[in-house]
Amino acid sequence: MRVEEVIKAIQDKFGLEVESPYPRRLRVRIPAEGKSEEERRQMLRDLLQYAKEIGFQHMSFITCVDFIKDGRFELNYGLWSYTIPTMLVVKYDLDRENPKHITVVDIWKPAKTWEQEVHEMFGVEFDGNPRSFEPYVLEDWDSIPPLRKDFDPVQYLKEHPMQGAGYDPLPYVNLVEKNLEQPTVEETGGDEGADS
């Protein structure tokens, strides 16, 4: 199958727009409007299943982005085909207030650990993947999921002083924080970057 055929097949079968922003990259988004949550989930699963059948054999990743201003999480399913060869990224928007979703671990085995990671870092619940509710790389985590945009690591450190480090890290953290402030126009020599 060639890239053009993939684009056409997904458009014909699911009625979705497939964009190709760069060579060997395809993006498709499950629309957020006009469908119930159940229908959208089923569409995602059907699309992933169909992609696997037409040659996207390798699940590269599942990851999430927190668009806090829009009130949504964006899940990204990255599928790679060795034969076409192209990467297809399927995007799925979730409500940020109620991030409940279903697993795809029965279609793609690697989803087991990727969903576990997304659950721990963003708090998205994947119904049907028992592993996703177990701790992954964090131990005894007692705050909001850390990769959400409203999690403040410096505040967390102030509330949870480090035990057994042999020194107090706060003065150092405060110093780093000062350096992390956005540079002003004077500091960058009037250069506003490539887009100016």
Partner 1 sequence: MPIRELVVTYDFPTDLHLGPQHPGIHGNFAYILKVDGEKIIEAKIVPGYLHRAFEKLMERRTWINNIALIPRVCVPEPDVNEYAFNAAIERIAGWEIPPRAKYIRTVVLEMARISAYLMYLASMGGGVGVYPLTQWAFGDRDYILDLFEALTGARVYHIYMIAGGVRRDIPEGWLDKLEETLKYLEGRLKEYDKLVMNSAVVQRRLVGLAPITPEYAMEHGVTGPNLRATGVPYDLRKLDPYAAYDELDFEVVTEKDGDAWARFMVRRREIDQSIDLLRQLIDKLRKDDTPHIHQPYSGLAFKVPQGEAYVHIESTKGEFGYYVWSDGGFNPYRVFVRGPTTSHAGVLMEDIVVGQELADFSLIDGSFDICPPDLDK
Q: Using CB under 8 A as the criterion, which residues of the chain lie in contact with partner 1 when the complex forms?
A: 21-22, 24-25, 57-61, 63, 65-66, 76, 78, 80, 82, 85, 87, 89, 108-110, 112-114, 116-117, 121, 135-139, 146-147, 151, 153, 180, 182-183, 187-189, 191-196
36 or 188: CB nearest partner 1:
188
- Facing residues of 88 across strands? 26, 79
What distance in Å separates the CA atoms of residue 179 and residue 33, rounded to the nearest whole number?
A: 42
Compute the least distance from the CB of residue 39 to partner 1, in Å.
Answer: 27
37 or 187: CB nearest partner 1:
187
14 or 113: CB nearest partner 1:
113
Sorted by sequence, the CB contacts under 8 Å of residue 33 that are 6+ apart come out as none
Instruction: Give the CA distances from residue 187 to residues 41, 141, 191, 192, 196, in Å, rounded to whole numbers and listed in that order.
Output: 48, 38, 9, 11, 16
Compute the least distance from the CB of residue 102 to partner 1, in Å.
Answer: 19
Compute the least distance from the CB of residue 183 to partner 1, in Å.
Answer: 4
- 114 contacts 61 by C-beta, under 8 angstroms: yes
